């Protein structure tokens, strides 16, 4: 399985190469993500093999392993891939490419696991059924411990299923309030740890030179604008003064700084001064165009004003940008400028870009999560044979997303690029264990077990595999928690929190739902009588 996971990672990287992409800082977590997901899927398939191996009547356990495991493994991989592919709706290229590449890698991994794991066991079987009967692991102390543990947990949840559900729903409702306070950020301090040389260099530059984050105000005058050249520069000067008055603005720069000084003597009339100023402006026009603060073409001309603000101070770029826009609209057009034709304002620069990326991050987080939730809910509804059963099965998978992101919102922690990706990915991964658990639960019901016995049956057959896959996925990615690039580190830690919270949902909340009156929705309309499976 480990060799297959390495092969899957290599094929995924080759896929990135043949797509003509370059590896981004986010892409470095993709190969280990595919690798740990491959190991996770392989563990579940091996679990199916051991189940078939324990059946004394089964003569070909490898074939039985494939027969039992292909559908839940395919569905699990499909939901994980859907979670990753949902990131393709993002307008941010690194996130979109990550979703496409990692989703493709998961599908490749599933094909390798389903092809080679049963094939290996077919040609190199571990044991025969007779060996299992004579040396059954079910008689070992470890197996007896887990059998006792699962039965006690089932009995406990049978007694407290309603309180467990109530507490979980209250926690989800409380966390939902926190979701309303979520904020996104791609500021420099959210990308690097405070002790990294990058931030230290930024701090030195801002202390000894000046702020480095720019806001570009563009004043456009089209070819039909009646505003004279002198009035255009006066309008430019007024706009620059408005920006300088903001406490957050450390410095400004415009075409005015590249003009020679015009001096008005006491004997000079206003008309003579304007004529002198007109000559200076016309003579300086080539210099201003070369400076980049004046642009001319057949459609008109554009003046540029740059305002510099801090990259490391706690400034809300979005609020500052909106306040600046409002002040400029009010002040510049309050004295009749609003009536002028052919005059308009635009905004560019790093600060608007950061603000737009932050806005886009929030939209992408919502869009990707809604899309993956809708697709997985449809899959769940089809697999579980009804809309209500599908919705009930989705509750444990919503539990970790709402809880973790709700706590982030309550604590005021900004969601960065790495954190944004985890919601859809974790939902797809969390559904894996839910599908495997419900597969065994329904198999127990179809064999004539009561719901409590079927819950214990599902625990017994996939409980440890669920814990193993969570540990492998969570701890396997945790190595990136040591990265100096904060989005990569956040991705690793968020996946760990989400996966372990999802495990709690699958081991406690899901069985509680199945043991509650809601569990009757999963019972077949007509129970088929058969011999109870081994427990």
d(CA 456, CA 337): 77
* pLDDT given for residue 517 in this prediction: 92
In a domain, 119, yes or no: yes
Residues 6+ apart with CB under 8 A from 290: none
In a domain, 196, yes or no: no
Question: Residue 309: in which H helix or E strand, if any?
Answer: strand 300-309
Residues 6+ apart with CB under 8 A from 146: 460, 463, 464
Range name among 36-40, 136-140, 181-185, 463-467 with the lowest pLDDT average: 136-140
pLDDT digits (tens, 9 = 90+) for 444-454: 898 889 999 99
Q: What is the residue-averaged pLDDT of the chain?
A: 82
Instruction: Render the burial of 174-205: b for 16+ CB within 10 Å, e for the rest.
Output: ebeebeeebebbbbbbbbbeeeeeebeebeee
Residues 184 and 244 in one domain: no
Residues 185 and 245 in one domain: no
Residues 6+ apart with CB under 8 A from 482: 489
Residues 62 and 170 in one domain: yes
Residues 186 and 272 in one domain: no
Q: Which one, of 29, 99, 6, 25, lies nearest residue 480 by Cα? A: 29
How far, CA to CA in Å, does 80 sit from each of 242, 350, 375, 380, 423?
51, 35, 11, 13, 12
Residues 276 and 384 in one domain: no
CATH of the domain at 427: 1.20.1640.10
pLDDT digits (tens, 9 = 90+) for 370-397: 887 888 888 888 888 888 898 999 999 8
In a domain, 261, yes or no: yes
In a domain, 199, yes or no: no
d(CA 441, CA 455): 6
In a domain, 202, yes or no: no
Q: Which regions of 101-254 does DSSP assign to beta strands (E)?
A: 213-222, 249-254
Helix axes 141-179, 451-478, angle to 10 degrees: 70
d(CA 391, CA 427): 14
**R_g of the chain computed on alpha carbons:** 32
Residues 380 and 516 in one domain: yes
d(CA 358, CA 317): 10
Domain that holds residue 333: 213-309+316-348
In a domain, 480, yes or no: yes
Each as own residue / partner, the long-range contacts of residues 166-175 (CB below 8 Å, 24 or more positions apart, any chain) are 168/395, 168/399, 168/505, 168/509, 168/512, 171/399, 171/403, 172/398, 172/399, 172/402, 172/403, 172/406, 174/406, 175/402, 175/403, 175/405, 175/406, 175/407, 175/409, 175/410
Residues 374 and 286 in one domain: no
d(CA 205, CA 201): 6
Give yes or no for residue 276 having a pLDDT over 80. no
Percent of the chain with pLDDT over 90: 14
Question: Residue 531: in which H helix or E strand, if any?
Answer: none
Residues 272 and 321 in one domain: yes
CATH of the domain at 267: 3.30.70.100
pLDDT digits (tens, 9 = 90+) for 78-137: 888 887 888 888 877 888 888 899 889 989 988 999 989 999 888 888 765 444 444 444
Residues 397 and 270 in one domain: no
Range name among 61-70, 146-155, 329-338 with the lowest pLDDT average: 329-338
* Final residue belonging to a domain, choices 348, 367, 398: 348
Question: Around Cβ 423, how many Cβ atoms within 10 Å?
Answer: 26
Residues 328 and 386 in one domain: no
d(CA 1, CA 43): 8
Percent of the chain with pLDDT over 70: 90
Average pLDDT, stretch 508-517?
94
pLDDT digits (tens, 9 = 90+) for 392-437: 999 998 999 999 999 998 988 888 777 877 877 777 777 888 888 9
Backbone angles phi, psi at 215, to 5 degrees: -120, 120
In a domain, 180, yes or no: yes
Q: Name the DSSP letter for residue 532.
A: P
In a domain, 206, yes or no: no
* pLDDT given for residue 272 in this prediction: 73
Number of domains comprising the chain? 2
Question: Residue 303: in which H helix or E strand, if any?
Answer: strand 300-309
d(CA 254, CA 292): 9
Under the banding of pLDDT at 50, 70 and 90, the label for residue 525 is low
Average pLDDT, stretch 481-506?
88
Residues 67 and 180 in one domain: yes
pLDDT digits (tens, 9 = 90+) for 190-246: 777 767 788 888 888 888 888 888 888 888 888 888 778 888 888 888 888 888 888
The SS3 of residue 135 is coil
Residues 335 and 383 in one domain: no
Q: Is residue 239 within 8 Å of residue 305, measured between CB atoms? A: yes
């Amino acid at each position: 399985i480990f060799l297959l996971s390495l092969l899957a990672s290599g094929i995924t990287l080759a896929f990135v190469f043949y797509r003509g992409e370059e590896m981004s800082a986010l892409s470095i977590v993709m190969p280990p993500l595919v690798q740990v997901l491959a190991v996770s899927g392989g563990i579940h398939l091996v679990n199916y093999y051991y189940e078939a191996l324990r059946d004394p009547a089964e003569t070909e356990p490898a074939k039985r392993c494939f027969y039992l495991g292909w559908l839940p493994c395919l569905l699990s991989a499909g939901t994980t891939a859907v979670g990753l592919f949902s990131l393709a709706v993002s307008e941010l290229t690194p996130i979109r490419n990550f979703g496409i590449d990692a989703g493709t890698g998961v599908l490749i991994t599933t094909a390798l696991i389903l092809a080679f794991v049963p094939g290996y066991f077919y040609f190199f079987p571990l044991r025969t059924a007779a060996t299992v009967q004579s040396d059954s692991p079910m008689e070992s102390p470890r197996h007896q411990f887990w059998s006792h543990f699962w039965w006690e947990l089932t009995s406990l949840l049978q007694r407290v299923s309603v309180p467990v559900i109530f507490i979980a729903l209250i926690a989800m409702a409380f966390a939902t309030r926190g979701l309303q306070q979520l904020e996104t950020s791609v500021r420099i301090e959210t990308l690097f740890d405070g002790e990294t040389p990058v931030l230290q260099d930024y701090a030195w530059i801002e202390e000894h030179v000046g702020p480095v984050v720019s806001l570009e105000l563009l004043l456009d005058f089209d070819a039909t604008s009646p505003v004279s050249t002198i009035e255009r520069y006066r309008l430019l000067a007024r706009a620059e003064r408005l920006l300088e008055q903001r406490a957050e603005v450390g410095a400004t720069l415009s075409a005015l700084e590249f003009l020679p000084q015009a001096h008005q003597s006491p004997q000079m009339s206003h008309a003579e001064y304007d004529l002198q100023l007109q000559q200076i402006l016309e003579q300086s026009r080539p210099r201003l165009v070369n400076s980049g603060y004046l642009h001319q073409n057949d459609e008109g001309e554009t003046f540029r004003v740059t305002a510099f603000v801090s990259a490391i101070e706690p400034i809300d770029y979005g609020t500052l940008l909106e306040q600046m826009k409002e002040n400029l609209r009010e002040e510049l057009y309050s004295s009749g400028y609003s009536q002028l034709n052919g005059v308009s304002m635009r905004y560019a620069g790093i600060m608007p870009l950061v603000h737009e990326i932050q806005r886009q991050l929030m939209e992408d987080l919502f869009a990707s999560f809604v899309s993956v939730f809708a697709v997985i809910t449809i899959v769940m509804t089809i697999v579980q044979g009804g809309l209500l059963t599908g919705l009930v099965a989705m509750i444990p998978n919503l539990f970790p997303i709402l809880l973790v992101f709700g706590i982030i919102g309550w604590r005021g922690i900004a969601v960065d690029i790495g954190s944004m990706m985890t919601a859809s990915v974790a939902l797809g991964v969390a559904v894996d264990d839910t599908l495997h658990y419900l597969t065994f639960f329904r198999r127990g019901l179809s064999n004539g077990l009561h719901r409590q016995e079927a819950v214990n049956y599902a625990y017994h057959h996939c409980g440890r595999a669920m814990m193993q896959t969570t540990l492998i996925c969570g701890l396997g990615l945790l190595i990136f928690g040591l990265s100096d690039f904060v989005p990569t580190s956040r991705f690793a830690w968020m996946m760990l929190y989400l996966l372990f919270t999802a495990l709690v949902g699958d081991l406690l909340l899901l069985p509680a739902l199945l043991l509650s009156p809601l569990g009757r929705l999963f019972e077949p309309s007509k129970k088929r009588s058969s011999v109870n499976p081994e427990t």
